């Protein structure tokens, strides 16, 4: 059965909350029922049919033909199935996602994967600031799952990361891995500034390049780590071939000693 | 005992009586096979019988890098015990003392199992606060800093209650040399089957036991009916032509694994023939009243 397709009629003139359009919420609904679903966040009660043309298909596989940076909370809280967006999305894509696969074939705005707990979010373009991070007032960021950004990411990617794997293949903004609690943040491209400020635990992996480390990170020397091999196999399974470099010795820095942190940076 | 002659080797009309056991499987890896095997041998040493060792353990098979979680060569080890608590105790003690201590080693679970045993989740405290938790690919690992780097260990490992312990073959022949030839051939062939171990040295045991003893303190004693030096002194099970007896004990992760192993062992012994090998094959049982798994030798003639 082919995917259930939402075809964008025209560029939206306002921010639209798409958190209601997730597979588990559409199962068992008719085309008419889906077309009449209200889109939260709109002032004058927009309905799905006002924004999208529908082509019915398997609700476990949703496809948005055309995206917009005004589409917020795409795939937020999704617990099963697959969503593919052919275009950009706005803020908080995949926030609180629990399972399933969300693929953005374009750029994503700030707070993508915010507090994501499971599943897989893949962004073909760039991600905005605070990838995987908590919103103001929340204590922890991502608590599981996998996030892959094939482009660049804004500042503070992986802020307060608690569990899960975040991969940024392009450049990373300032303060990547800030306040990390645990988890794994893999940065392949150029990194702005020094990563990991105030990280308590967790692993930041720098592949393909050197970067400055904060003076509060201590050099622990080069080591051939079994854990790095396990991560390499996991990343290769996800289609990230550069991960083979992790099978070589990595240089390990421990920190952030500014807070007696027990985190680490591997330079592969 | 009566039996059927297969290629002039008599297969007695008997059966092996085996028991339900708890079991787990581990993969031990190292930078090379030599050290993976070293860790596995240390861990499975003194694990021949639950009677005196707490568990029965052995190496199932060697693994290439393509078969292990960390891509290094390794070995698959199986452990069997009579209770979950005892298996938990034995796994922790043996991995903690023999694998964690072995240069370059890492340790992973090797069966899914319906229940989980603690491994890294308990051993991590050796890290004294420097241990690191990692979750990759749905599996949870603990990294414990040690003097040659890190010991990586899966947090929990699977356990099965479908395991079987006590499959066996009793091999009888005209000379110790011939019987050993047959036992070695059987052990070699059984070693190639999956999901089983032969916990005794080299896979062969010479001191088969019977239940009970004339001494009240002992729960088991020598199987005098199969001791060739006593065959004139008591109601022996051995004929005049038998001068030596050896036994192979088999534990498996499933009843099917044990029966396949016994089938392979019988085929090897029969294939060797009576001139260079065994004259008779039998199996140990307790009259069928103690263990619910009965492996009738005649049904295992392939």
What total number of domains does chain B contain? 2
Residue where a domain terminates, one of B123, B143, B160: B160
Same domain? For B142 and B83 the reply is yes
Average pLDDT over residues B244-253: 98
* pLDDT value of position B286: 86
User: Residue B107 sits in which domain range?
Assistant: 22-160
B35 near A CB under 8 A: no
Q: What number of C-beta contacts closer than 8 Å exist between A and B?
A: 55
- SS3 assignment, position A236: helix
Tell me the per-residue pLDDT of A150-188, one tens digit each, with 9 for 90 and over: 999 999 999 999 999 999 999 999 999 999 999 999 999
pLDDT in tens, A105-121: 999 999 999 999 999 99
Mean pLDDT of the region A113-131: 98
Q: Of the candidates B70, B130, B149, which has its C-beta nearest A230's C-beta?
A: B70
Q: For residues B37 and B146, state if they share a domain.
A: yes
* Cβ neighbours for A209, distance < 8 A, ≥ 6 positions apart: A189, A190, A191
> Which residues from chain B sit within 8 angstroms of residue A253, using beta carbons?
none
- Angle of helix B176-191 versus helix B255-276 axis, rounded to 10: 150
Quick one: B95 and B117 in the same domain? yes
Are the beta carbons of A136 and A159 closer than 8 angstroms? Answer: no
Q: What is the CATH number of the domain that holds B123?
A: 3.30.70.520
| Domain end (from B127, B160, B193) | B160
Chain A residues within 8 A of B106 when measuring between CB atoms: 226
* Record: contact A234-B134, CB cut-off 8 A: no
In a shared domain, residues B34 and B59: yes
- The whole-angstrom distance between B137's CA and the closest CA on chain A is 6
Location of structure tokens 């990280």: A199
Domain boundaries, chain A: 107-267
* B197 and B132 both lie in a single domain: no
B154 and B177 co-located in one domain: no
Mean pLDDT of chain A: 96
Do B116 and B240 have their domain in common? no
B42 and B150 in a single domain? The answer is yes
DSSP-assigned states of every residue in B80-134:
EESSHHHHHHHHHHHIIIIITTSTT-EEEE----SEEEESHHHHGGGGTT--EEE
- Three-state SS at B232: coil
- Are B54 and B93 found together in one domain? yes
Q: What is the mean pLDDT of residues B117-121?
A: 98
* Residue B295 pLDDT grade (very low, low, confident, very high; cuts 50, 70, 90): very high
pLDDT at B171 > cutoff 80: yes
Q: How far is A202 from chain B (nearest CA, A)?
A: 8
Task: Say if residue B167 is in the same domain as residue B156.
Answer: no
Is the pLDDT at B255 greater than 70? The verdict is yes
- Domain-terminating residue out of B160, B184, B207: B160
Among A226, A237, A246, most B C-beta atoms within 10 A, so best to mutate, is A226
Average pLDDT, rounded, for chain B: 96
Q: What number of CA atoms fall less than 13 Å from residue A44's CA on the CB side?
A: 4
Pairwise CB contact (< 8 Å): B132 & A184: no
| B197 in the same domain as B152 | no
Q: Which residue of B has its CA nearest to A246?
A: B70
For B41-60, how does the pLDDT look when each residue is reduced to its tens digit (9 = 90+)? 999 999 999 989 999 999 99
Q: How far is CA B38 from CA A34, B73, B79, B91, in A?
A: 63, 12, 16, 17
Residue B279: per-residue pLDDT: 98
């Amino acid at each position: 059965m082919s995917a259930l397709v939402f075809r964008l009629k025209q560029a939206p003139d306002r921010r639209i909350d798409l958190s209601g359009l997730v597979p588990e919420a559409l199962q068992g609904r008719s085309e008419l029922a889906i077309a009449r679903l209200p889109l939260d966040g709109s002032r004058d009660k927009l309905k799905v049919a006002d924004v999208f043309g529908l082509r019915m298909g398997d609700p476990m596989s949703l496809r948005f033909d055309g995206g917009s940076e005004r589409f917020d909370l795409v795939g937020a809280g999704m617990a099963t199935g697959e969503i593919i967006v052919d275009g950009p999305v706005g803020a908080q894509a995949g926030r609180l996602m629990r399972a399933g696969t969300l693929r953005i074939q374009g750029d994503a705005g700030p707070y993508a994967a915010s507090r994501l707990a499971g599943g897989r979010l893949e962004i073909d373009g760039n991600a905005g600031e605070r990838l995987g991070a908590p919103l103001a007032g929340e204590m922890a960021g991502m608590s599981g799952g996998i996030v892959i950004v094939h482009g660049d990411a804004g500042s503070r990617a992986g802020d307060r990361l608690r569990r899960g794997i975040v991969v940024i293949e392009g450049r990373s903004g300032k303060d990547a891995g800030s306040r990390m609690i645990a988890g794994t943040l893999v940065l392949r491209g150029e990194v702005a500034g020094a990563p990991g400020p105030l990280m308590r635990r967790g692993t930041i992996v720098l592949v393909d390049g050197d970067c400055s480390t904060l003076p509060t990170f201590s050099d622990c020397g080069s080591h051939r780590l079994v854990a790095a091999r396990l991560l390499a196999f996991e990343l290769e399974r996800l289609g990230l071939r550069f991960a083979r470099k992790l099978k070589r010795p990595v240089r390990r820095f421990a920190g952030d000693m500014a807070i007696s942190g027990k985190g680490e940076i591997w330079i592969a | 005992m009566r039996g059927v002659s297969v290629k002039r080797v008599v297969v007695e009309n008997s059966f092996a009586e085996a028991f339900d056991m708890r079991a787990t499987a581990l993969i031990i890896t190292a930078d090379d096979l030599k050290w993976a095997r070293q860790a596995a041998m240390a861990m499975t040493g003194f694990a021949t019988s639950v009677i005196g060792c707490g568990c029965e353990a052995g190496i199932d098979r060697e693994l290439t890098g393509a078969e292990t979680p960390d891509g290094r060569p390794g070995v698959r080890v199986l452990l069997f015990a009579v209770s979950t608590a005892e298996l938990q105790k034995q796994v922790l003690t043996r991995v903690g003392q023999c694998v964690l201590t072995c240069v370059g080693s890492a340790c992973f679970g090797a069966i899914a199992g319906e229940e989980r045993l603690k491994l890294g989740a308990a051993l991590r405290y050796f890290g004294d606060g420097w241990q690191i938790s990692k979750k990759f690919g749905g599996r949870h690992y603990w990294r414990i800093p040690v003097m040659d780097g890190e010991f990586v260990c899966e947090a929990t490992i699977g356990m099965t209650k479908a395991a079987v312990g006590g499959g066996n073959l009793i091999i009888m022949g005209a000379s110790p040399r011939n019987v050993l030839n047959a036992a070695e051939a059987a052990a070699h062939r059984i070693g190639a089957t999956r999901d089983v171990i032969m916990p005794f040295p080299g896979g062969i045991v010479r001191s088969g036991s019977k239940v009970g003893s004339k001494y009240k303190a002992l729960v088991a004693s020598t199987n005098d009916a199969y001791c060739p030096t006593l065959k004139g002194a008591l109601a022996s099970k051995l004929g005049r032509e038998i001068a030596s007896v050896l036994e192979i004990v088999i534990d498996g992760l499933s009843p099917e694994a044990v029966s396949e192993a016994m089938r392979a062992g019988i085929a090897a012994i029969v294939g060797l023939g009576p001139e260079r090998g065994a004259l008779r094959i039998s199996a140990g049982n307790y009259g069928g009243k103690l263990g619910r798994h009965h492996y009738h030798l005649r049904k295992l003639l392939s």
